Amino acid sequence: MSAHFLAKPILFGVLSGALLSGCLSPNASTGGGNPPPLHLQNPFKTDLSGLSNADRLDSSRKALGLLREKSGNSYRYTTYFRSWSPFWDSTWIEVKQGKVVRRDVVYQPNSDSDPLPPVIRFTETGTGLGAGVFGSLPITLDSLYRECGEYLKSDPAVSETVFEMDGDFILKTCGRLLRGCMDDCGPQIQLSEVRWGERPQPD
């Protein structure tokens, strides 16, 4: 099993931004007294599109280091999973000064019933982090990058590898797609959003 997902290691499909923001809302507003979000201007002097996935991962690690320094190693990110069956989850993870301090999970059970069972929501902090069996593990982006690097080492005869970055050159999608696979084939890591800096406090 992937170190990233507790429930199921292979991901498929996309949850809309509206669905994610509606499910995970602890960071919905920055508030008038909070600083604007951090973003990264292109730190690279060459076009990364022609590089291999492994080389683009190395470049993305450099961007991660820059944003980690600018943010005091504090950020929030959201992962998502969607199966071809009626089952999905989304996980919002908060990291403060390099340590995971909170995990919010929204989980839709897999069921053939109509209507579907109610969506499950829970929040974990402190010693309760990781206690729930659904959603992504409460780990840092550094850990995700290490996991991504292992996926990109996959035998090309067996799997096609995937690596994508967001507008700040941070990991967005990574994994291996097994050749010949028909359902829930990957990629294994999918992030819908990363926000840098500590979570804004209510006004």
List, for residues 152-172, the tens digit of each pLDDT value: 998 888 888 889 999 889 999
Residue 34 lies in a domain: no
Can you give the pLDDT at residue 138?
96
Residue 176 lies in a domain: yes
Residue 101 lies in a domain: yes
Residue 161 lies in a domain: yes
d(CA 77, CA 61): 16
d(CA 162, CA 159): 10
Residue 63 lies in a domain: yes
Residue 40 lies in a domain: no
Residue type at 180 in one-letter notation: G
CB 75 within 8 A of CB 195: yes
Please list the ranges in the chain whose pLDDT falls under 70: 1-37, 40-47, 84-86, 111-113, 116, 182-186, 201-203
Can you give the pLDDT at residue 180?
72
Residue 121 lies in a domain: yes
CB 195 within 8 A of CB 76: yes
CB 151 within 8 A of CB 160: no
Residue 3 lies in a domain: no
Can you give the pLDDT at residue 80?
87
Domain count, the chain: 1
Q: Which domain holds residue 180?
A: 17-25+55-192
Cβ neighbour number for residue 160 with a 10 Å cutoff: 15
Can you give the pLDDT at residue 34?
58
SS3 56: helix
d(CA 174, CA 178): 13
pTM value is 0.75
